[in-house]
Amino acid sequence: MITPGFNLPCRYVIHTVGPVVEGKLTREHERLLASCYRACLDLAAEKGLGSIAFCCISTGVFRFPKERAAEIAVETVRAWRREKQSGMEVVFNVHSRENEALYRRLLG
């Protein structure tokens, strides 16, 4: 779902609900998380947006393991950009040094 950004420093906010991990991480959890990223990218492209910023979807209270979530996020965005031949700017907005280190390592 997309809504106006109102008082935020952006035109829109794209809302997504990531998977909740209760117990062992499964391939289905991984598939669902990748689907969240793809759906957001598709919606941003449909609206003609030139950039999108992602938080670390599902890694807080939804308990998705941070390292695997970061791998899925980076892999999914790279694959989507290749497939769509898109120059959309993608920013990963992280709020901890741990997550920053993960994304820096994955993004090279």
**Which CATH class for the 2-107 domain?**
alpha beta
For residues 39 and 1, give the distance between their C-alpha atoms in angstroms, rounded to a whole number.
9
pLDDT value at position 75? 98
pLDDT value at position 96? 94
DSSP secondary structure of 41-73: HHHHHHTT-SEEEE--TT-STT---HHHHHHHH
Q: Which residues of the chain have pLDDT under 50?
A: none
pLDDT value at position 64? 98
pTM here is 0.94
In the chain, where the domains are located: 2-107
